[in-house]
């Protein structure tokens, strides 16, 4: 049995004037420890899919199962990273990284030590008593990563977490997140519209078409590239070919629409 199973998922948004189908008949499976990317044009329902997997809202039709259990409401064991850090400006960094533990009533000496160790691993221990506005965008996103990992989630959902950063910071953070997740053996889903990022970070890339969101194709990245750090992958020869294939596919999608 797969770690995560999405079974014939369809989701629609309602307003009094209209019905918008965001996702149609999505089925996919993700194994434990796998890193899967969702790639597609805007409006293909990628974020909707993450929200459904996180249990933030119930799907219109279909089911999501994590470790063979139906996801009904927000799952304690999911970590979610957003496009921006969304650190609470009125809390210090330390209070920010403890927030998940506090919400889940798991704030004790052990969990605190774990969170602070993570902060140290990312070379951020000097920021403990600072406030978010005193730090740079890259640092804040790294702290958001610590906040997400502090609750020890089994599944990480990354919703374009690098899109608001400058290019250099983005490349560095890709490596950092990749290594951190591999080290802690996390299963992760990444939503992105950056083809390079998807190839560099994932084991599999799932391409979506838009209006309504459907799975168009699935690309398995060669195992050699899977093991490499994202930055190395970007310099690898095969990278270009895969990039080219997906690029053409996405272009076709645009023409179809």
Partner 1 sequence: MKSKIDIAYEQYIHQERRTKRNVLFTQFLLFVLFVGVWELASTQNWINPLLFSSPSRISELFINKIGDGTLLVHIAATTGETLASFVIATIFGTACAAILWWAPFVSKVSDPYLVVLNAMPKVALGPILIVALGPGYISIIAMGVLISFVITTLVVYAAFHETDQNYIKVIETFGGDKKQVFQEVTLPAAIPTIISTLKVNVGLSWVGVIVGEFLVSKKGLGYMIIYGFQVFNFTLVLLSLFIIAILATFMYTGVGMLENRWRKR
Report how far Cα 169 is from the mean position of its chain's Cα atoms.
17
The region of 79-87, 183-191, 200-208, 241-249 touching partner 1 under the rule CB under 8 A is 79-87
Contacts of 234 (CB under 8 A, 6+ apart): 171, 196, 200
Between residue 177 and residue 216, which ones bind partner 1 under the rule CB under 8 A?
none
Q: Which of 8, 72, 104, 220 binds partner 1 (CB under 8 A)?
A: 104
Residues 108-137 that bind partner 1 (CB under 8 A): 131
Q: Is 75 in the site for partner 1 (CB under 8 A)?
A: yes
CB of 102 to partner 1, least distance (A): 8
* Binding track, positions 31-70, relative to partner 1; x by CB under 8 A: -----------------------x-x--------------
CB of 190: closest distance to partner 1 in angstroms? Answer: 16
Q: Residue 33: left if φ>0, alpha if ψ -120 to 50, beta else—which one?
A: left
As measured in angstroms, the least distance from the Cβ of 232 to partner 1 is 31
CA proximity to 192, closest of 75, 52, 81, 77: 81
> Is the Cβ of residue 152 or residue 245 nearer to partner 1 in the bound state?
152
Place of tokens 């996405």: 250
**Which of 82, 154, 182, 226 is in the footprint of partner 1 by CB under 8 A?**
82
Residue in 59, 79, 138, 161 binding partner 1, rule: CB under 8 A: 79
Contact 218/207 with Cβ under 8 angstroms?
A: yes
> Smallest gap, in angstroms, from Cβ of residue 76 to partner 1?
5
Number of residues that bind partner 1 (CB under 8 A): 22
88 lies in the binding site for partner 1 (CB under 8 A): yes
Q: How far apart are CA 46 and CA 225, in angstroms?
A: 24
Q: How many CB atoms lie within 10 A of CB 114?
A: 15
Cα 8 from Cα 56, distance rounded (Å): 18
- For 50-56, the CB contacts below 8 A with 24+ separation are 50/80, 50/157, 50/159, 50/189, 50/191, 52/9, 52/11, 52/23, 53/4, 53/6, 53/78, 53/155, 53/157, 53/189, 54/78, 54/80, 54/157
As measured in angstroms, the least distance from the Cβ of 154 to partner 1 is 13
Q: Does 13 bind partner 1 (CB under 8 A)?
A: no
The footprint of partner 1 (CB under 8 A) covers 54, 56, 73-76, 78-80, 82, 84, 86, 88, 90, 99-100, 102-104, 131, 151, 157
């Amino acid at each position: 049995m797969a770690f995560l199973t999405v079974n014939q998922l369809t989701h629609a948004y309602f307003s009094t004037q209209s019905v918008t189908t965001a996702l149609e008949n999505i089925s996919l499976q993700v194994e434990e420890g796998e890193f899967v990317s969702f790639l597609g044009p805007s409006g293909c329902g990628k974020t909707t899919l993450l929200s459904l997997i996180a249990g933030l809202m119930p799907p219109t039709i279909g089911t999501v199962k994590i470790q063979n259990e139906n996801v009904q409401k927000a799952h304690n064991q999911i970590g979610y990273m957003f496009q921006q850090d969304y650190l609470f400006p009125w809390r210090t960094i330390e209070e920010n990284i403890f927030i998940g533990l506090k919400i889940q009533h798991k704030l004790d000496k052990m969990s605190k030590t774990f969170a602070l160790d993570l902060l140290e691993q990312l070379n951020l221990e000097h920021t403990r008593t600072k406030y978010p506005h005193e730090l740079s965008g890259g640092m804040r996103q790294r702290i958001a990563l610590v906040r997400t990992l502090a609750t020890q989630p089994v599944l990480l959902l990354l919703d374009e977490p690098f899109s608001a950063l400058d290019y250099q910071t983005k490349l560095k953070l890709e490596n950092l997140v990749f290594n951190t997740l591999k080290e802690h053996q996390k299963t992760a889903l990444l939503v992105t519209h950056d083809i390079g990022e998807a190839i560099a970070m994932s084991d599999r890339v799932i391409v979506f078409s838009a209006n309504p969101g459907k799975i168009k194709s699935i690309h398995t990245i060669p195992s050699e590239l899977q093991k490499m750090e994202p930055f190395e992958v970007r310099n690898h020869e095969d990278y270009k070919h895969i990039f080219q294939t997906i690029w053409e596919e996405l272009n076709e999608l645009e023409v179809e629409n």
